[in-house]
Every structure is written in structure tokens, then in C-alpha cells.
């Protein structure tokens, strides 16, 4: 039987709905890339909230970024509407699209609005194992008819540098010491201590990033990028040599640019779903909270990461630090 993707007309229109959440939006881009690679003739629109639209800006696979409204969903005249968000607002947009094919995962609440219900990724892959979020989202494309292939790295496209960014000499490290909940947050004093180690022992200037509501007081001795649009984070991350942070969206931005990543996880078992995708990385997981991860464990993970990335010509750890660097790690 001919697949849905193959039945789309030449120049057909596909509406992908992914409204919010930085990590989810970033990890949607491999799925979009797969669809575009197989059917470059399609007009692909991504419907995301204003704050998250920069994730998709500049992406050659994305033709349009319409506002997430009923009127815009209807006006796009999609042949296929693919809901990768799954909550109520996205269901309303899916219905409003009036697309011939309205697709989404069958486990979504109110999935009855779909006339194409996509099963679990494990069923699509034919193996019962934990899947990464990038695999989960890409599995929707495979189910719809994109031929199975390797799932690529996430794609982000950074605007040119601006004078408003912190003036750290290249190379530099980016640190994101904040998270949604206290149990997912490594103590600020340990982040500051690790930043001093990067600066003083590894000659790698640290830049802290976060939102205006975050408390940057413990990091006042370092460069900080406070708030601003996602474009500021992507611009900074595209030039970074290293990322260190809690389990959060900026880690996925770093991974999209191939930056080596050290991630500190709280007590959840979500590592397999949310680990950095297709970049060199280390992760540490707390026993009860992120606070239970010792400083020495982070230093050791950093040493292992550095030892591997120094041997890779494709990664961004500065080769100028290679001589004697491993002796200075601890």
C-alpha cells in the first residue's frame, strides 16, 4: 500500500505542530530533516509559539512559520497536519487545519481527532527498548512513509554574532546552572567552583546563561548572558567549545552544534530519552537529587570528556589546550 508521504501531491503542504519547550523543539528538527530529505518538493510549515520560533528560523527544510492560531492553521491549507505536541491547543489547531490527513501519536489525549494514529516508536522500530526523544519524533516520519534511515543530529542555524554578547575570547565554555525544580538543580556554589576550574586551570573562560528570573548572584565573577531571545543562546552556543549544565533545553542546543556536553541529571530515569543527541557527552545522575552528585564526580566526568574530544578533529575542544591538559584536569 502506498504510504501517506508518497500520496502527498507534488508541492504538497505539510503542517507540523510543535508549540513550545526548547528541548522538544530542537529535537523535532531531525524528523523535519528526514521528511525534507525524502520529499524536498513539499512545503513544510512549523507552528510554534513566538518564543520558540527561532529554533526553526533559517532551517532550509522549513518554508513557513505561521502563528499558532485557528485562522493560520486553516489558511495554510495543509494536505497533512502532523501534531508532535499533543496537548489541547495543538488538537484544536490540528482540527482547524482541515487537512486530508491529520496525524499524531495514538497515546495523545483526544487522539480521536486524528484519522492517522501513529503507534509507539517501539512498535515502529520493532524492538522493545528505551528510545530517545529524537527517535520517538522521527518514528512518526517513518510510520508515515519516509524510508528508514539514520536519524541525523538536530539542526539549528545561528545568526551572525552581535556586539551585545559577552566578549569572551574564543574558545570558551557555556554553563547553564538552572533547572525547572530544585531536585534537578546542581548547587550553584559547585557550578561556580567548576567555572573557576575551567578559567584558571584549563584557560577556558566560562559564560553563564539563564533567564531574568534566575539568580545569577553566585556567578557575579563571571560573564553572564541573562535572558534575551533564543537567538542569543544559539549564537553563543554555536561558538562554544564546551557546555556544562543541568538537564534542560540549552543542553540540546549545544548538542545541535556538536559541542561536547556534560549534563547533570536529577533522580529521574529519563536519561535515555533526553541525553544529548549525537554529540560527545558525559552525564551524571543523582541518587535522590542533583545535589547528591559530588563536585569530584563532575571533575572526573570533565576529564573523561576532554580526553576523548582531544583526539577528535571534528569536536570543538580547543586544540591549544592539548599540551599538558590532562595533567591539569584534577
The predicted-structure confidence for 284-321, as pLDDT tens digits, reads as follows 999 889 999 999 999 999 999 999 887 776 666 665 45
Q: Which of 19-23, 93-97, 163-167 has the lowest mean pLDDT?
A: 163-167
Rg, C-alpha atoms of the chain: 21
Domain segments of the chain as ranges: 4-144, 173-328
Is the predicted pLDDT of residue 281 greater than 90, yes or no?
yes
Collapsing DSSP states into helix, strand and coil, what is residue 317? coil
What CA–CA distance (Å, rounded) separates 65 from 75? Answer: 13
How large is the average pLDDT for residues 102-122? 97
Its CATH architecture, for the domain 173-328, is: 3-Layer(aba) Sandwich (3.40)
Its CATH architecture, for the domain 4-144, is: 3-Layer(aba) Sandwich (3.40)
The string of DSSP letters for 247-268 reads SSHHHHHHHHTT--EEEEE-S-
Residue 169 exposed, middle or buried by CB count within 10 Å (0-12, 13-18, 19+): exposed
| Angle at alpha carbon of residue 136, lines to 85 and 209, rounded to 5° | 65
173-328 shares the fold of 4-144: yes
Is the predicted pLDDT of residue 2 greater than 50, yes or no?
yes
Is the predicted pLDDT of residue 152 greater than 80, yes or no?
yes
What CA–CA distance (Å, rounded) separates 279 from 34? Answer: 19
pLDDT confidence of residue 323: 35
pLDDT confidence of residue 163: 52
The predicted-structure confidence for 166-214, as pLDDT tens digits, reads as follows 544 468 999 999 998 999 999 999 999 999 999 999 999 999 999 999 9
pLDDT confidence of residue 315: 65
Q: Which of 207, 203, 285 is nearest to 244 (CA)?
A: 207
What CA–CA distance (Å, rounded) separates 259 from 305? Answer: 11
Question: What is the H or E stretch that residue 232 is in?
Answer: helix 230-237
The predicted-structure confidence for 228-278, as pLDDT tens digits, reads as follows 789 989 999 999 999 999 999 999 999 999 999 999 998 777 788 999 999
Asked if 61 contacts 35 with a C-beta cutoff of 8 angstroms, the reply is yes
Full-prediction pTM beyond 0.85? yes
- What the block records as the C-alpha cell of 103 is 496525524
What CA–CA distance (Å, rounded) separates 240 from 323? Answer: 20
How large is the average pLDDT for residues 127-137? 96
Amino acid at each position: 500500500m502506498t504510504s501517506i508521504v508518497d500520496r502527498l501531491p507534488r508541492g504538497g503542504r505539510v503542517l507540523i505542530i510543535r508549540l513550545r519547550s526548547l528541548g522538544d523543539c530542537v529535537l523535532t528538527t531531525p524528523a523535519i530533516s528526514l521528511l525534507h530529505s525524502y520529499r524536498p518538493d513539499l512545503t513544510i510549515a512549523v507552528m510554534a509559539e513566538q518564543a520558540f520560533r527561532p529554533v526553526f528560523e533559517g532551517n532550509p527544510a522549513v518554508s513557513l512559520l505561521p502563528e499558532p492560531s485557528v485562522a493560520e492553521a486553516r489558511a495554510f491549507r495543509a494536505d497533512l497536519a502532523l501534531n508532535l505536541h499533543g496537548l489541547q491547543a495543538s488538537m484544536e489547531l490540528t482540527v482547524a487545519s482541515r487537512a486530508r490527513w491529520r496525524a499524531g501519536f495514538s497515546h495523545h489525549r483526544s487522539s480521536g481527532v486524528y484519522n492517522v494514529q501513529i503507534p509507539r516508536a517501539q512498535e515502529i522500530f520493532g524492538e522493545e527498548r528505551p528510545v530517545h526523544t529524537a527517535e520517538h519524533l522521527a518514528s512518526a516520519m517513518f510510520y508515515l512513509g519516509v524510508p528508514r534511515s539514520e536519524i541525523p543530529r538536530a539542526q539549528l542555524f545561528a545568526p551572525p554574532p552581535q556586539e551585545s554578547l559577552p566578549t569572551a575570547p574564543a574558545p570558551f565554555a557555556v554553563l547553564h546552572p538552572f533547572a525547572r525544580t530544585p531536585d534537578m538543580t546542581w548547587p550553584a556554589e559547585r557550578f561556580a567552583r567548576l567555572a573557576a576550574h575551567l578559567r584558571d586551570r584549563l584557560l577556558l573562560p566560562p559564560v553563564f546563561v539563564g533567564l531574568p528570573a534566575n539568580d545569577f548572584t553566585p556567578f557575579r565573577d563571571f560573564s553572564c548572558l541573562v535572558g534575551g531571545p533564543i537567538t542569543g543562546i544559539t549564537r553563543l552556543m554555536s561558538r562554544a567549545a564546551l557546555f556544562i549544565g543541568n538537564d534542560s533545553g540549552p543542553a540540546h542546543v549545544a548538542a545541535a552544534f556538536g559541542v561536547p556536553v556534560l549534563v547533570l541529571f536529577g533522580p529521574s530515569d529519563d536519561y535515555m530519552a533526553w541525553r544529548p543527541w549525537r554529540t560527545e557527552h558525559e552525564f551524571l545522575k543523582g541518587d535522590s537529587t542533583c545535589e547528591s552528585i559530588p563536585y569530584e564526580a563532575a571533575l572526573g566526568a570533565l576529564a573523561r570528556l576532554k580526553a576523548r574530544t582531544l583526539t577528535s578533529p571534528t569536536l570543538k575542544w580547543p586544540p591549544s589546550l592539548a599540551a599538558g591538559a590532562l595533567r591539569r584536569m584534577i
